[in-house]
């Protein structure tokens, strides 16, 4: 806990939850995205449709799950579908609005790596791999990416391109057969980046209260573009913090 009265992880989750509207159909991974969606459902988006990769459609868990396949998710689901149905009909079929992605590395065009750090055949760090990330980034109408902003994560060149954001920028994503429009925002522990409308390069558009421009530049492995004037997000309100902390307690 910092002197602000909330942590940077809490700020990330609350910021992500604010992106989720009440009528959204959201594809969720475990960790911070799952917390963000469950938070939104308890605040401003009670009717949000949450979909977990394991096949649970429109599930309403009482507590945030530890894994995408928790019994809590299947017991509270409107419908449970098989893995091929999930990937063919719902994802590739373009029936999901927002997909959440995490990443170990991201580049300036919001392409991400969740596969390896180092060389593929002899990796320094073997990461879990793609899972559903390729299809989420390809076929959800929009994606939201959540990761910490450090020079190790925000890199000039990815060690491995697992999921395409905007490829080499501009219109290079179109023509790849993806029906989704690509990343809408990257939510970090320092603020929010959004793609430039024409070049698709990520621009820092929001900082969290108390974060300096110098800090975000130092935390990024490429010359970072920053919106002028830069926006500052609002601090978490009492209700957001209280509900989030209750959710986190339930997971322990």
Partner 1 sequence: MTEFLSLREAVQKYVKPGISLAMEGFTHLIPHAAGLEIIRQKIRHLSLIRMTTDIVYDQMIGMGCADKLMFSWGGNPGVGSLHRLRDVAEHDYPHHIEINEHAHAAMANAYVAGASNMPCAIFKGYRDTSYPEVNPNIRFIQCPFTGETLTVVPAIKPDLAIIHAQRADKQGNIWMRGIIGIQKEAILAARQSIVTVEEIVDQVDEKQGGIVIPRWVVNAVCCVPKGAFPSYTEGYYNRSNDFYVRWDEISRDRQRFLDWMDKFVLSTNDFSEFMFKLEKQGYV
Question: Which of 47, 63, 120, 212 touches partner 1 (CB under 8 A)?
Answer: 120
Shortest Cβ 53–partner 1 spacing (Å) = 7
Q: How far apart are the first and last CA of the chain?
A: 18
Which residues on adjacent β-strands are paired with residue 142? 98
Contacts 24+ apart (CB under 8 A), 154-158: 154/105, 154/106, 154/107, 154/219, 154/220, 154/221, 154/222, 155/105, 155/106, 155/107, 155/221, 155/222, 156/107, 156/108, 156/221, 156/222, 157/107, 158/105, 158/106, 158/107, 158/111, 158/112, 158/113
Residues in contact with partner 1, counted by CB under 8 A, come to a total of 54
Half-sphere CA count of 93, side-chain side, radius 13 A = 8
Shortest Cβ 125–partner 1 spacing (Å) = 7
Is 132 a binder of partner 1 (CB under 8 A)?
yes
Tell me the C-alpha distance between 85 and 160, whole Å.
28
Residue 84 or residue 229: which is nearer to partner 1 going by CB?
Answer: 84
Binding string, 47-76, against partner 1, x = CB under 8 A? ------xxxx--------xxxxxxx-xxx-
Per CB under 8 A, which region of 172-180, 191-199, 206-214, 216-224 contacts partner 1? 172-180
Please say if 72 is a catalytic residue.
Answer: no
Question: Which of 164, 190, 193, 211 touches partner 1 (CB under 8 A)?
Answer: 164
The residues binding partner 1 (CB under 8 A) are 30-31, 53-56, 65-71, 73-75, 80, 82-84, 86-88, 91-92, 115, 120-126, 128-135, 138-139, 158, 160-164, 167, 172, 176-178
């Amino acid at each position: 806990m910092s002197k602000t009265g909330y942590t940077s992880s809490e700020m990330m989750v609350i910021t992500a939850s604010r992106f989720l509207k009440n009528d959204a159909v959201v594809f969720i991974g475990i960790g911070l995205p799952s917390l963000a969606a469950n938070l939104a459902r308890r605040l401003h988006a009670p009717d949000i449709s949450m979909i977990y990769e394991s096949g649970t459609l429109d599930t309403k868990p009482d507590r945030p799950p530890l894994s995408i396949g928790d019994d809590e998710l299947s017991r509270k689901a409107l419908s449970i579908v098989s893995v091929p149905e999930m990937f063919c009909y719902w994802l590739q079929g373009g029936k999901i609005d927002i997909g959440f992605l995490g990443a170990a590395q991201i580049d300036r065009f919001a392409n991400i790596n969740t596969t390896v750090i180092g060389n593929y055949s002899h990796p320094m760090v073997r990461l879990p791999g793609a899972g559903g990330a390729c299809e989420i980034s390809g076929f959800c109408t929009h994606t939201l990416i959540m990761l910490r902003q450090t020079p190790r994560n925000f890199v000039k060149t990815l060690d491995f391109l697992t999921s395409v954001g905007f490829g080499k920028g501009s219109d290079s994503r179109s023509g790849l057969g993806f029906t989704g429009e690509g990343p809408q925002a990257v939510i970090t522990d320092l603020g929010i980046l959004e793609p430039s409308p024409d070049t698709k390069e990520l621009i820092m558009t929001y900082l969290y209260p108390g974060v300096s421009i110098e800090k975000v530049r130092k935390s990024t492995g490429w010359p970072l573009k920053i919106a002028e004037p830069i926006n500052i997000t609002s601090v978490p309100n009492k209700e957001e913090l209280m509900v989030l902390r209750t959710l986190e307690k339930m997971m322990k």
